[in-house]
Amino acid sequence: MADRPDQAQQGQNKPTLQLHVPEPSYRPGDAVDFGHLTIPEAGAQPRPDEGCEASETNPLATDLIRVLGDDNLPHGPWDPKLDADTLREMLHHMAMVRAFDERMFRGQRQGKTSFYMKCTGEEATSISAAMALASDDMVFPSYRQQGILIARGYPLTEMINQIYSNSADKLKGRQLPIMYSSREKSFFSISGNLATQTPQAVGWAMASAIKGDSRIAATWVGEGSTAEGDFHAACTFAAVYNAPVILNVVNNQWAISSFSGFAGGERTSFAARAVGYGIAGLRVDGNDPLAVYAAERWAANRARSNAGPTLIEHFTYRAEGHSTSDDPSGYRSAQEREEWPLGDPVMRLKDHLIALGEWDEDRQKSLDEDCATEVKKATKEAEKNGILGHGLHHPFRTMFEDVFEELPWHLKEQSAQAIRERETKFPEGLSE
Amino acid sequence: MIDAINDALDIMLDRDPNVVVMGEDVGYFGGVFRCTAGLQEKHGKTRVFDTPISECGIIGVAVGMGAYGLRPVPEIQFADYIYPGLDQLISEAARLRYRSAAEYIAPMTVRSPFGGGIFGGQTHSQSPEAIFSHVSGLKTVIPSNPYDAKGLLIASIEDNDPVIFFEPKRIYNGPFNGYYDKPVEPWKKHAQSIVPEGHYRVELGKARKVTEGDELTVLAYGTMVHVAEAVCAAKGVNAEILDLRTIVPLDIEAIEASVKKTGRCLIVHEATRTSGFGAELSALVTERCFYHLEAAVERVTGFDTPYPHSLEWAYFPGPVRIGEAIDKILSE
């Protein structure tokens, strides 16, 4: 008898089918226990050669690459052996991002801008990764990698000008706050549409290879956005053309209110997806700055030597709300952040430097104060150029510019209309 | 027209080392319509190559290549299959210059065969130009003959804005006048099929006056230029037919001048009627030529249904539908 349904039993499945709708382990008010998470010993993971076959990385795609142990010292083959100055620089960038996030969040609450998004708890995934790349490697970030700009020395005042959409905003008030763009820093224009940057990064990397360049591309995407079709396209194209690209998946467990199970995280890791595409896959402790640096460096060397793309899952935790428009107490247990077993990346790096005898609590305190002072100074500087809500800042004609390289007739007509309306709408007078 | 398109691509691949041609089956095989035949062999696999079957991937990587500094010419095999790439076109390619204040641009030309009249059924016949004309930041170009196809394609590739370049596949091999029961002429008997050798441009945003006339203005593009011309000739109407060639940017001056002269305007397109590009044309003509109009502006279009297979010639806006509209306009 062939293996096929018995006609007599059609429609009589036993038991009846059930739809599985994922549910996070903890909701508001629940006591949190992350005991089920497998956190391997630091240093236990092998480090294959950067030019290895992609399949050789398969075990690492479900493991967790860790360098910093509970003793705050580096362990194992992934130790990037960074000198103390580099580690202090990394810590400085992290402290700066944290200070920046704090102040900008407050700025939004004070009505200086409409919107902000913090990256608290995820600082290593952008800063350590950016430090492992060359400064002219092209990055295609999502909206939560402000650390890259800071690590690359982009002026804080310029960032704040953009957040405030003021008269000095290089994007002329066209973009939502934090959707930065800096060609000078090889930082691609951020889009609100999720995951679109991933095939773009692959295309940029393909272009670099077509031209025989030596620069590589890296992109960042949240675990939630990996469910977008663009991410599948990016992985396919990256594999097909062996593109010199790094696909960073920041798995911070939450996509606004949806836990990672809704992106398919219940059954396997996000790094494990690399296996099916024939891409090297690494899963790293995203709160271990040394592990993130080492993995990114490994992937960069691999890409640069034409050995192919890498997908890195940074396993981390979104410590704060999704954005200034979000209150996470409505969907997850407040205890999660405290119980998160991988700790805080800034504290771990600080403790590491202290363990090396290269840092102390007093220096940390003054670093934090210095960062707060510098951000405050940059904020004051930016506020001289205005804040959102205090004037429209940019000449009306600029609204019509850059839609195309040149203004077609219909935009010239509409520009003239906007300028005409100005006199009625703002009789007190506005420049241009 | 296929040869003219192939020639334009060949010339641009020669002239500009940043031009790359890519898409499904465009490489070794030379394209399902032969538009890229021989190009890979001549220019190499890193300039002309096949892609995975992924329209969002094709457009997405082209945006990234443009950001690098290349001038990609991606092909979407049929306009009916451009929809998976729409997010990349609308949210990314079209907005990139604006949102980055010109730090990054998307100087890409998306070629795609479009239009019906070939028994292509629902998914090989569509004319989705109105979707793109509604997106600020995209240019939309539709040639109607080999001379324009080459000149417009070269101009599109050289343009620094993203261009959607729709090639009416019904007229790839010869002009089609809508009389589907009569033999089709090949291009070689047609004046517009004479294509100069080498590089030349047909400026974007400029209409072509197909016939000079004073009774009626006909606005058309693509295949419908030939249909309108044949119907007007058959009816003995002294019509001024404008082949718009690009719908964004639109040659409003040519349209205004003609309608103000004739006082009557007929708009013809294959695409479905509601919210089709004809609605925009009708509104513009009404707004700008109101006191010169002697009759209501008429639209002859495809019906508001998916493109049918067996009922193609009942659906297609051919001679009968156009003739009826002309009679109505001229009788007012």
A193 vs B250: CB contact, 8 Å cut-off? no
Answer yes or no: is pLDDT of A64 > 60: yes
Across the range A387-399, mean pLDDT stands at 89
Show Cβ contacts of residue A253 under 8 Å, excluding neighbours closer than 6 positions.
Answer: A223, A259, A260, A316, A317, A318
Answer yes or no: is pLDDT of A7 > 70: no
What pLDDT score does B244 carry?
98
Count of A–B CB contacts within 8 Å?
151
Q: What SS3 string covers chain B?
A: CHHHHHHHHHHHHHHCCCEEEEECCCCCCCCCCCCCCCHHHHHCCCCEEECCCCHHHHHHHHHHHHHHCCEEEEECCCHHHCHHHHHHHHHHHCCHHHHCCCCCCCCCEEEEEECCCCCCHHHCCCCCHHHHHCCCCCEEECCCCHHHHHHHHHHHHHCCCCEEEEEEHHHCCCCCCCCCCCCCCCHHHCHHHCCCCCCCCCCCCCCEEEECCCCEEEEECCHHHHHHHHHHHHHCCCEEEEECCEEECCCHHHHHHHHHHHCCEEEEEEEECCCCHHHHHHHHHHHHHHHHCCCCCEEEEECCCCCCCCCHHHHCCCHHHHHHHHHHHHHC
| Cα R_g (chain B), whole angstroms | 19
Question: Tokens 């692959």 label which residue?
Answer: A202
What pLDDT score does A429 carry?
66
What pLDDT score does A15 carry?
85
Confidence bin at A12 (pLDDT 50/70/90): low
Answer yes or no: is pLDDT of A336 > 70: yes
Chain B positions in Cβ-Cβ contact with residue A192 (cut-off 8 Å): 91
By 3-state DSSP, what share of chain A in percent is helix, strand and coil, each rounded to 5? 40, 10, 50
- Catalytic annotation present for B124: yes
Residue of B nearest to A176 (CA): B99
Q: Facing residues of B163 across strands? A: B109, B139
Q: Which of B16, B20, B68 to mutate to test the interface with A (most CBs of A within 10 A)?
A: B68
Q: What H or E segment, with its residue span, contains residue A218?
A: strand A217-222
Answer yes or no: is pLDDT of A1 > 60: no
Confidence bin at A431 (pLDDT 50/70/90): low
pLDDT in tens, B256-302: 999 999 999 999 999 999 999 999 999 999 999 999 999 999 999 99
Per the CB < 8 A criterion, the answer to whether A282 and A313 are in contact is yes
- Omega of the bond prior to A15 within 30 degrees of 0, cis? yes
What pLDDT score does A6 carry?
66
Instruction: Pick A11 or B197 by higher pLDDT.
Output: B197
Q: Which of B47, B51, B97 sits opposite A402 (nearest CB)?
A: B97
Q: What are the per-10-residue average pLDDT scores of chain B (332 residues)? A: 98 98 98 97 98 98 98 98 98 98 98 96 96 98 98 98 98 94 88 93 98 98 98 97 98 98 98 98 98 98 97 96 98 88
* A residues 78..137 contacting B (CB < 8 A): none
Least confident of A77-86, A159-168, A387-396: A387-396
Chain B positions in Cβ-Cβ contact with residue A230 (cut-off 8 Å): 56-57, 60, 87-88
Confirm or reject contact between B37 and chain A (CB < 8 A).
no
Looking at the complex, report in whole angstroms how far the Cα of residue A232 sits from the nearest Cα belonging to chain B: 9
Answer yes or no: is pLDDT of A427 > 90: no
Confidence bin at A306 (pLDDT 50/70/90): very high
Instruction: Pick A9 or B299 by higher pLDDT.
Output: B299
Question: What pTM value is reported for the model?
Answer: 0.97
What pLDDT score does B108 carry?
98
- C-alpha dist (Å) from residue B212 to A305, B73, B231, B237, B289: 63, 35, 15, 11, 19
Q: Is A1 exposed, middle or buried (0-12, 13-18, 19+ CB in 10 A)?
A: exposed
What pLDDT score does A374 carry?
98
Answer yes or no: is pLDDT of A391 > 80: no
Q: Which of B46, B92, B98 sits opposite A403 (nearest CB)?
A: B98
* B residues 289..328 contacting A (CB < 8 A): none
A193 vs B92: CB contact, 8 Å cut-off? yes
Is the CA virtual torsion A399, A405, A407, A409 positive or negative?
negative
B104 vs A229: CB contact, 8 Å cut-off? no
What pLDDT score does B191 carry?
86
Answer yes or no: is pLDDT of A227 > 80: yes
Per the CB < 8 A criterion, the answer to whether B164 and B110 are in contact is yes
Per the CB < 8 A criterion, the answer to whether A274 and A236 are in contact is no
Chain A positions in Cβ-Cβ contact with residue B88 (cut-off 8 Å): 196, 199, 230
Chain A positions in Cβ-Cβ contact with residue B87 (cut-off 8 Å): 193, 196, 230
**Which member of B124, B190, B199, B269 is catalytic?**
B124
Answer yes or no: is pLDDT of A321 > 60: yes
A402 vs B250: CB contact, 8 Å cut-off? no
Answer yes or no: is pLDDT of A257 > 70: yes
Say how far apart CA B321 and CA B299 lie, in whole Å.
Answer: 10
